[in-house]
Structure formats: structure tokens, C-alpha cells
Structure 1
Amino acid sequence: MKNLLLAKRGGLALLVLLLVLIAVMTRFVGHIDLLAAVSDQQGAFFTTLTHSAGSQGFVVTLAVFCVGVMTLRLTPKQLISKAAQLGLLLVIGFVAKTGLKQMTESPRPYTETLSHELLVPNPEHFYHLSAEQQESVIHKVSEHVSHWRTQHWLGETDYSFPSGHTIFVAICVAFFGGLFVEHKRYLLTAGVMVWALGVAYSRLWLGMHRPIDLMASVMFVFIVYALLPDFDAVAGKINGYLNLKNRCSG
């Protein structure tokens, strides 16, 4: 177990750093007024950031980071092992996110705005509405809230805790950031960290999450990543089989 943790120390350290940065960011940012005017440049920027970790763009983000991994010159055995590790991390993260949201049933922050605007009696009531009624309520508040925010509200009417976007960025920080640190690619590591913090802030800015949602997501990934086994033995067998197959076919 000790050797396993030592092998992951770079990724685990980056997760701790991300957690601290999120805590500091939320401490100094303070309250975000969801009724405030939003410029198109600002709205497009935060939308792009949040989409990069959502269903709209996470595949592209993974592809970009994988290109970075290709510059590390890993052996075929290492690539197979790392691919299996990343795949399991993503499956656990996405499944756990869905399950935890249903267990906690924490209303999203934007539902508080709907309540303050007297469109629903309280945030919890929003989740008792039909999909058509939820859409109607959000359209009504659009008179006072920028469409850069309400378009996200319309697309995500599920619960708030934990943040699926932040689970994804934390996985990327642990896995890709850890690999980059291990191979002393510090510029790539910094790029992953800046992107991750930007996505985390975008979720607050859009009214989709509270700080506790973000920090709990990072802590969850920390625990899962720390306990995740390596796949070196399996990767060795697969690589040996592929080499044997190539020799036989040649």
C-alpha cells in the first residue's frame, strides 16, 4: 500500500493543492450575484470553461491531455496500465456522482434565486415540478438573469451535490497532472491546474454549485485515487500477448 501511495504522490499532492486553491478562491471571491449583468465575452468564457468538463466537451479535453501524455514516451505496458487506471477512475467518478446526487438531494444555488424572485416557494419545491414547469420557471426568471446563466440552468435541473464537473477536473489533475509532474513537465502541470481552477470557478459563477460541492468532489477523488490499484501485472500480460500475436502474424 505504501509503495502504491508513493507512486501516486504527485497526483495526490496536486489534489491537495487544488483543494486549497478552491478554498482560498471561494474565501476571497465572496458572494456571486446571479442577477448581475453579464457581457458576452464573460459569458462565453465561463461557458467554454464549464463545457470543457461537461458532456459537451470532456472528450475533447481528454484527447488534448492524452496528446500531452504521448510526449512522455511511455512504454506500451505503461500506456495500457495508465489507460485502465484512467478508465476505472472515470467510471467510478461518473457513477458515484449520479448516485450521490440522488442520495443528498441538495438543491442547486440557482433555485435560491428562483425562490427570491417568488417563482417557487422554496428551492426544494423546484424539484417537485415537472420538466415543463421547471423550464417555464427558468424562462420567467430570464427577464432578470443573463441567458449565459439560464441556458445552463435549463440544461441541468438535477441536484447540486457533488459537482460532476469538479469530479472530472479532479480526476484529470490526479491522473494527467500526476503524470506530468512525475516526468517533470511542469508547464503542462500548471496548465492542468489553471484549467481545473477555472472550471471550478465557472460552476460557482453560473450558479450551479456551492463551494462545499466543489471541495467534497476533490476529496472524493482523492480517496478513490489513493485506493485505486495499479494495473501493471494485467498490463504486462496484455502487452506480452500482443507482442506474441505480432510475432506470430509476422
Structure 2
Amino acid sequence: MKSVLQAKRNGLLLLVILLLLIAPMTLLVNHIELLSPESDFEGATFTILTNSAGSGGFLVTLAVLAIATLTLKMTPKQQLSKVIQLGVILLIGFTAKTGLKHLTESPRPYTEVLSHQLLVPNPAHFYQLSAVQQESVINKVSENVSHWRTQHWMGETDYSFPSGHTIFAAICVAFFGGLFLDHKRYALAATLMVWAIGVAYSRLWLGMHRPIDLIGSVLFVALVYALLPSMDGLSGKIGHVLNLNKRCFY
């Protein structure tokens, strides 16, 4: 176990730094007014950031990061091991996110705005409405809320804790960021960290999450990443099978 943690020390270090950078957002969130008008530049920037870690763009982000890793010196066995490890942690992250949301049933921050505008009796009531009713309620508040925010409210009417976007960003920081540090690609690691912070803040700005959602997501990823096996043994077996098949083919 000690050797496994030692191999992941850079990824875990980056997650600690990510936590330390997210913590001050607890103070910044008080200055975010969801009912205030916003510029198109600001709205577009946070939308691009949040989409890069969401269902519409996470594959593009993964592709870009995967291409960046091609510049790193790794053997085919190491590459296969990392691919398996990434696939497992992504599967765990996305599956657990869905389960935790249903377990905690924490209303999203924007439902508090709906409640303050007297469109629902309380935030929890929003989740008792049908999809059509939820859309209708959000449409009514759109007269007072920027479309940059309400378009995301329309698309994500599930619960708040944890933040799936932040889970994905934290996985990228731990996995790819750790690799970049291992190979002394400090600029790539720093760029990745700035992106992850941007994604996390975009979730607050849009009214989709609270700071505790972000912090809990990073802590969850840190735990899973720390406990995840290296996958070297499995990659060796798969590589051996592939080599046997290759020989049989020829």
C-alpha cells in the first residue's frame, strides 16, 4: 500500500492544492448574485468552462489530455496500465456521483432563488414537480435571471451533492496532473490546475453548487484515487494475451 501511495504522491499533492484553492470560494460565493444581469463575455466563459467537464464536452477534454500524454516517455505496458486505471476511476466517479445525489437529496442553490421568487414553497418542493412543471417554473424566473444561468438550470434538475463536474475535474488533476509532474511537465500541470479551478468556480457562478459540494467531490476523488490499485498486473496479463493473439495471427 505504501508503494502505491508513493507512486501517486504527485496526483495526491495536486488534489490537496486543489482543495486549498477551492476553500476560499466559500467566501467568494457570498458575492455571487444569481438575480443580477451578467455580461455575455462572463456568461460565455463560465459556460465553456462548465461544459468542458460536463456531458457535452468531457470527452473532448479527455482527448486533449490524452494527446498531451503522448509527449511523455512511457512504455506500452505503462500506457495500458494508465488507461485501465483511468477507466476504472472514471467509472467509479460517475457511478458514485449518481448514487450520492439520490442518497443526500441536497437541492441545488438555484432552487432557493425559485423559492424566494415564490415560484415554489421551498427548494425541496421543486423535486416533486414533473419535468414539464420544473421547466415551466424556470421559464417564469428567466425574466429576472440571465439566460446564461437558466439554460443550465433547465439541463440539470437533479440534486446538488456531489458535483459531477468537479469530480471529473479532480480526476483529471490527480491522474493527468500527476503524470505531468512525474515527467516534469510543470506548465501542463499548472494549466490543468487553472482549468479545474475555473470549472469549480463556474459551478458556483451558475448557481448549480455550493462550496461544500466541490470540497466533498475532491475529497471523494482523493479517497478513490489513493485506494485504486496500480493495475500493472492486469495490464501485463492483457498485454500478454494481445501478444499471443498477434503471434497466432501472423
* Distance in 2, Cα, partners of 1:111 & 1:248: 60
Say if 2:111 and 2:123, in contact at 8 Å, map to a contact too.
yes
Matched residue, 1:93? 93
**What secondary structure is seen at the aligned counterpart in 2 of 1:30?**
helix
1:56 counterpart SS class: coil
Q: 2: distance between equivalents of 1:20 and 1:239? A: 39
What residue identity is the alignment partner of 1:31?
Answer: H
Distance 1:100 1:240 in 2: 38
1:73 alignment counterpart:
73
Determine the C-alpha separation between the residues in 2 that align with 1:164 and 1:21: 18
CA distance in 2, matches of 1:29, 1:122: 21
**Aligned ranges for residues 156-195 of structure 1 at < 5 Å?**
156-195=156-195
Partner of 1:116: 116
Q: Normalised by the size of structure 1, how large is the TM-score?
A: 0.97
Paired residue secondary structure (1:55): coil
1:152 aligns to what?
Answer: 152
| Separation of aligned partners in 2, 1:246 and 1:148 | 52
Quote the Cα distance in structure 2 between the aligned partners of 1:46 and 1:117.
Answer: 24
How far 1:74 sits from its partner (Å)? Answer: 1.2
Unaligned runs of 5+ in 1: none
Q: Matched residues in 1 for 2:9 and 2:52: separation?
A: 26
1:210 is matched with: 210
- Letter of the structure 2 residue corresponding to residue 192 of structure 1: L
2:221 corresponds to 1:221: yes
* Alpha-carbon RMSD: 1.1
The 5 A counterparts of 1:11-160 are: 11-28=11-28, 30-160=30-160
CA–CA separation in structure 2 for the residues paired with 1:141 and 1:62? 35
2:3 is matched with 3
Q: Counterpart of 1:222 in structure 2: which amino acid? A: A
The whole-number CA distance in structure 2 between the counterparts of 1:159 and 1:172 is 23
Say which is worse superposed, 219-228 or 239-248, in terms of deviation: 239-248
Q: Between Structure 1 and Structure 2, how many residues are aligned?
A: 250
Structure 2 unmatched runs, 5+: none
Task: Give 1:238 shift.
Answer: 1.9
TM-score (norm 2): 0.97
Structure 1 residues 128 and 29, CA gap change in structure 2 (3 angstroms): closer
CA contact (8 A) 2:25 2:211 kept: no
